[in-house]
């Protein structure tokens, strides 16, 4: 015998106000409640989602939060400065170091680095430590180089926004004769 459903009528859960229970149930038997969001939209939400704060809006809160996050980020040519500053190892990384990949059918390591939506091939190495050092060298040249140039440019731009508009940040990576090269500065 099931429990009697809670009466949530008129209660506020985040931006949602529970209006009335519907006939619909989720897979665990939780009653769906018809709710009105502060933005004016209506949505049916399981009681458990309301009570445990899994559902706090019709979806408008997620949009607001994503816009707020985007406003706090510093994007330059599609590159997020904060992501470069706080790089982490990916969970699915098997080699133990980002950008270093062990080839499936050999004991060799491929090294890549990504920047501005492009992947740059750094090299192929027999030794893991040599591959890691090559990746660190590429990170220092590209990622750390970009952060350094951006911070200098950003400081000048904060002092004089007109200067920033007249002198956009330039940081381009290209490969010449197998070597990664960086063109950095202001126009």
Task: Kindly report, residue by residue over 38-72, the tens digit of the pLDDT.
Answer: 999 999 999 999 999 999 999 898 888 877 766 66
Q: CA nearest 51: which of 71, 26, 33?
A: 33
Give the rounded percent of residues in the chain with a pLDDT score beyond 70. 87
pLDDT higher than 80, residue 95: no
Cα–Cα distance for residue pair 107/124, rounded to 1 Å: 11
Question: For residues 8 and 5, which has the higher predicted lDDT (pLDDT)?
Answer: 8
Low-confidence winner among 18-27, 120-129, 169-178 (lowest mean pLDDT): 169-178
Question: 93: helix, coil or strand?
Answer: coil
Q: How far is CA 176 from the centre of its chain?
A: 31
Q: 113-139: per-residue pLDDT in tens? A: 988 888 999 999 999 999 999 999 999
Q: What per-residue confidence (pLDDT) applies to 1?
A: 45
Give rounded-to-5 percent helix, strand, coil for the chain.
35, 35, 35
Q: Band of the pLDDT at 80, cuts 50, 70, 90?
A: confident
Question: 104: helix, coil or strand?
Answer: coil
How long is the chain?
187
Q: What per-residue confidence (pLDDT) applies to 50?
A: 94
Domain boundaries, the chain: 12-63, 73-186
Cα–Cα distance for residue pair 31/20, rounded to 1 Å: 10
Contact 44, 35 (CB under 8 A): yes
Q: Band of the pLDDT at 37, cuts 50, 70, 90?
A: very high
């Amino acid at each position: 015998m099931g429990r009697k459903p809670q009466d949530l009528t008129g209660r506020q859960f985040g931006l949602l106000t529970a209006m009335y229970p519907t006939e619909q149930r989720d897979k665990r038997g939780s009653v769906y409640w018809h709710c009105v969001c502060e933005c004016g939209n209506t949505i049916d939400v399981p009681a458990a989602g309301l009570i445990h704060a899994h559902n706090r809006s019709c979806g408008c809160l997620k949009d607001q939060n994503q816009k707020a996050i985007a406003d706090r980020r510093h994007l330059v040519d599609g590159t997020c400065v904060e992501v470069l500053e706080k790089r982490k190892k990916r969970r699915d990384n098997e080699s133990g170091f980002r950008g270093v990949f062990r080839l499936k059918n050999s004991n060799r390591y491929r090294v890549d680095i990504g920047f501005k939506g492009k992947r740059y091939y750094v090299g192929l190495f027999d030794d893991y430590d040599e591959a890691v050092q090559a990746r660190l060298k590429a990170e220092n040249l590209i990622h750390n180089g970009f952060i350094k140039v951006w911070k200098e440019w950003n400081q000048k731009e904060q002092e004089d926004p007109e200067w920033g508009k007249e002198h956009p940040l330039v940081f381009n990576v290209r490969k010449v004769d197998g070597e990664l090269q960086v063109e950095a500065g202001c126009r």
